[in-house]
């Protein structure tokens, strides 16, 4: 086989470190010969989708040979109604990651920059660097004026440059679980110049119950540069299908749709998402289970005398007080997959997704055992 010693990819791609996903269950079972392992590593909904979703998907088999609806008419109609906007405010994505990439492709170039916080979701630096744009990382809170590791809006504001075209804000953020309140985020938006697109990533929106947690959709009419992203991967339990969406004024949506692949969301995903959106009962069950799970983890972690960052997501970042990579490896041997977050500059932390009560229990037991050894 003839190979190249050097592949002349763009400088941004040359320096790119690919996204490291959570270890799949099948891989752990294959590599370690472990059965009935639990995976609490990718912030998935432990209940999975509801029967209504499965039925809706089943009905799609008849059309397998056809391209999906490239305009996603039914799903966009359902989302427009749920978000109280018209259809042309919705941009569908192959997961909300896809929407983040559309933003980068439509608004960033090697001559521009994107701003995001330290410890922010890993996809922001990836999509920025893939384009060859400059990534400006704003320091996170040190704990004195806001939650440690949380986004510092003043620092983000100060980091915006003349060439900045995109700001990425995760509310709440993954992997920290920290969130920004209504008045702070609204005040921030008012400071941002019009030529800067502000992405408010609300991947965990459905889980959050805090009284002053904002629904950024309320601000769309006032801010033509605002894009809100949401997903069916987390609370709706459809991570495997890859379906997410952006909500913005039509002018911004139009720019994203110019670079969107024509059939980026498949027909199963579209049908499943429509059904999931209608199944409010299942969503409530999922949110309720998560609330109990977060409580179970806070109690259990306190019992283990472990520090954690209070989270409003479906995961919790835990300070294990030592190199978390090693604890992660030991947990694997106990059949528990969590996520080390050294790649987020948090080398002593593990991010644990909230699972079923029994799974959470197993994780806490294993953590206690591994840390005591």
Where do contacts with ligand PLP occur on this chain (CB under 6 A)?
A: 43, 95-97, 121, 170, 174, 201, 203, 231, 233-234, 239, 244
> Given the complex with ligand PLP, which of 89 and 344 has the nearer CB atom?
344
260 DSSP assignment: S
Closest separation in Å from C-beta 8 to ligand PLP: 29
Least distance from ligand PLP to the Cβ atom of residue 244, Å: 4
Between CA 341 and CA 142 the distance in angstroms is 18
Cβ neighbours around 124 below 10 Å, total: 25
Considering the complex, state which of residue 42 and residue 163 has its C-beta at the smaller distance from ligand PLP: 42
Identify which of residues 314 and 362 has a Cβ nearer to ligand PLP in the complex.
314
Nearest residue (CB) to ligand PLP, 248 versus 370:
248
Angle at the Cα of 128 (from 71 to 224), degrees rounded to 5? 55
The distance of closest approach from Cβ of residue 334 to ligand PLP in the complex, given in angstroms and rounded to an integer, is 25
- Rounded Cα–Cα distance for residues 103 and 333 (Å): 40
Asked if residue 175 has a cis previous peptide bond (ω within 30° of 0), the answer is: yes
Total Cβ atoms within 10 A of residue 266: 17
Of the two residues 106 and 170, which places its CB atom closer to ligand PLP in the complex? 170
Nearer to ligand PLP, 72 or 95 (CB): 95
| CA distance linking residue 98 with residue 105, whole number of Å | 10
Q: Which is nearer to ligand PLP, 128 or 233 (CB)?
A: 233
What is the distance between the alpha carbons of residues 365 and 40, in angstroms, rounded to a whole number? 14
CB of 108 to ligand PLP, least distance (A): 18
**Nearest-CB residue for ligand PLP:** 95
Question: Residue 371 has which token pair?
Answer: 């840390």
Query: Is the CA virtual torsion 105, 107, 109, 113 positive or negative?
Result: negative
- For the chain, how big is the Rg over CA atoms in Å? 21
The secondary structure of residue 250, as a DSSP letter, is H
The contacts of residue 314 (CB under 8 Å, 6+ apart) are 43, 45, 204, 207, 234, 235, 290, 293, 294, 353, 354
Find the shortest distance in angstroms from Cβ 301 to ligand PLP.
21
Spatial CA neighbour of 311 closest among 279, 364, 350: 350
Measured between alpha carbons, how far is 355 from 36 in angstroms, rounded to an integer? Answer: 14
**From the CB of 65, what's the least distance to ligand PLP, in Å?**
27
Nearer to ligand PLP, 50 or 96 (CB): 96
CB of 322 to ligand PLP, least distance (A): 25
Report whether 258 contacts 310 (CB < 8 A): no
Output 242 or 362, the one with its CB closest to ligand PLP. 242
Instruction: Give least dist CB 234 to ligand PLP, A.
Output: 6
Least distance from ligand PLP to the Cβ atom of residue 47, Å:
17
Contacts of 7 (CB under 8 A, 6+ apart): none
């Amino acid at each position: 086989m003839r190979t190249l010693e050097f592949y002349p990819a763009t400088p941004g791609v040359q320096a790119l470190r690919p996204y490291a996903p959570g270890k799949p269950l099948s891989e752990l079972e294959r590599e370690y010969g472990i059965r009935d392992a639990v995976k609490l590593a990718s912030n998935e909904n432990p209940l999975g989708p509801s029967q209504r979703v499965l039925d809706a998907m089943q009905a799609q088999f008849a059309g397998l040979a056809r391209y999906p609806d490239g305009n996603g008419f039914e799903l966009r109609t359902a989302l427009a109604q749920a978000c109280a906007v018209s259809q042309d405010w919705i941009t569908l994505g192959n997961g909300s990651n896809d929407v983040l990439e559309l933003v980068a492709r439509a608004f960033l170039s090697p001559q521009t920059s994107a701003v995001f916080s330290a410890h922010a979701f890993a996809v922001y630096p990836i999509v920025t660097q893939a384009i060859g744009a400059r990534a400006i990382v704003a320091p996170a809170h040190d704990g004195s004026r806001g939650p440690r590791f949380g986004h510092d809006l003043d620092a983000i504001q100060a980091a915006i440059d003349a060439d900045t075209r995109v700001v990425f804000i995760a509310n709440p953020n993954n992997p920290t679980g920290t969130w920004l309140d209504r008045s702070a985020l609204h005040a921030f938006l008012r400071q941002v110049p019009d030529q800067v697109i502000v992405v408010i990533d609300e991947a965990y929106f459905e889980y959050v119950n805090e009284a002053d947690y904002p629904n950024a959709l309320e601000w769309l009419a006032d801010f033509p540069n605002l894009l809100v992203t949401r997903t069916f991967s987390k609370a709706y339990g459809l991570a495997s299908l890859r379906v997410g969406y952006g909500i913005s004024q039509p002018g911004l949506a139009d720019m994203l749709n110019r670079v969107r692949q024509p059939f980026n969301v498949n027909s199963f995903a579209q049908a499943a998402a429509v059904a999931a959106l209608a199944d409010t009962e299942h969503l409530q069950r999922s949110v309720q289970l998560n609330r109990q799970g977060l409580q179970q983890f806070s109690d259990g972690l306190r019992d283990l005398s472990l520090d954690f960052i209070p989270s409003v997501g479906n995961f919790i970042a835990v300070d294990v007080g030592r190199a978390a990579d090693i604890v992660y490896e030991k947990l694997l041997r106990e059949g528990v997959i969590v996520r080390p977050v050294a790649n987020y500059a948090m080398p002593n932390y593990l991010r644990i997704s909230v699972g079923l009560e029994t799974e959470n229990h197993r994780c806490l037991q294993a953590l206690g055992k591994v840390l005591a050894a």
